[in-house]
Amino acid sequence: MSARDTDWDGVRLHVVTGKGGTGKTTVAAALALALAAGGRKVLLVEVEGRQGIAQLFDCPPLPYEERRVAVAPDGGDVYALAIDTEEALLEYLEMFYSLKRAGKAMTKLGVVDFVTTIAPGLRDVILTGKTSESVRRRDKDGSFRYDAVVMDAPPTGRITKFLNVNEEVSGLAKVGPVRNHADTVMKVVRSPETAVHFVTLLEEMPVQETMDGIRDLTEVGLPVGGVLINMAHPPMLEADELAAAAAGALDTDEIVRGVKAAGLEHDTEAIAAALAAEASEHARRTAAQGREKERLESIDRPRYTLPLLSDGMDLAGLYDLAEALRAQGAA
């Protein structure tokens, strides 16, 4: 693999998507921490209005402004922005039409909701446009404001439509500010500085959605990054033990002896039977994970594995996941 394949060198916009329930927001936050490590400045953007970033970093709900939410390992800062569609639309109207005051009146009349309902493509242009502006923004000395931007994007089933804004606005505008804005967004999204990463579990449905999403992005020429396997369960038994458990051939007498050796003298046979059943289920789950892992290996994209955190997800867990990504060369 090239440097780009392994650690995404040169990528400044990391779009993170995944099927619901795969931990997409958590992985996006961990990636932002990993990318900021060593003194860099990274912006983490949320576009779905769920305030998931605030919950992860244990801070109050984010306003519509960029705020520092964490210090990365070895220095570096993670800033966060929860994009509010209404506020972003007002910015858009002010920037391209000098209509901010009129936009506020439209908001009171509910026209903003009406516009984004009848023209959902415009909503996506606004959300992706705000993110791409953050990628392009420079300070007075000419340097980029952020070393990287991480977008916690919509789920896999909607990601191609969400990012392919030129197609979405084709029926709205052929020329003018909307079209020009969409073209500017697409220059960022289609550039080598962008990568769309897929978060999955080693389960059939998330893996299938990942494969379908990669195919869809590739068909429209959007850049695919890595596959991030989240909440991986490591095998707790040796290969021969897994095979025996899967076949229901574990030595229950040996399990009983082990239970007694652990100091349990009552109901040892019932405990042994429960342990054997648990081992059988573990073997089944491990085999299923192995099959899904083989399917993912057919995809010619780098893969990164994040462990299941036994203590649950908290701020310390985010730093653990960020370190796992760094150890695998993802940042």
pTM for the model stands at 0.84
Encode the chain (331 residues) as per-residue pLDDT tens digits.
333 444 577 899 999 999 999 999 999 999 999 999 999 999 999 998 888 999 999 999 998 899 999 999 889 999 999 998 777 777 776 766 565 555 556 665 565 665 666 566 777 888 888 899 899 999 999 999 999 999 999 999 999 999 988 776 655 556 567 777 788 888 899 999 999 999 999 999 999 999 999 999 999 999 999 999 999 887 666 676 666 666 676 767 677 677 677 777 778 878 777 877 777 777 777 778 888 999 999 999 999 999 988 777 889 999 999 999 999 887 6
User: What 8-state DSSP symbol labels residue 37?
Assistant: T
pLDDT of residue 142: 94
In this prediction, residue 8 carries a pLDDT of 73
pLDDT recorded at residue 1: 35
Residues 41/330, Cβ–Cβ less than 8 Å: no
pLDDT given at position 118: 57
CB atoms < 10 A from the CB of 240, how many?
Answer: 8
Helices 100-109 and 111-118 cross at an angle (nearest 10°) of 90
Give 259-323 as a 3 state SS string: HHHCCCCCCHHHHHHHHHHHHHHHHHHHHHHHHHHHHHHCCCCCEEEEECCCCCCCHHHHHHHHH
Reduced to 3 states (helix: H, G, I; strand: E, B; else coil), residue 205 is helix
Strands (E), 5-131: 13-18, 41-46, 67-71, 77-82
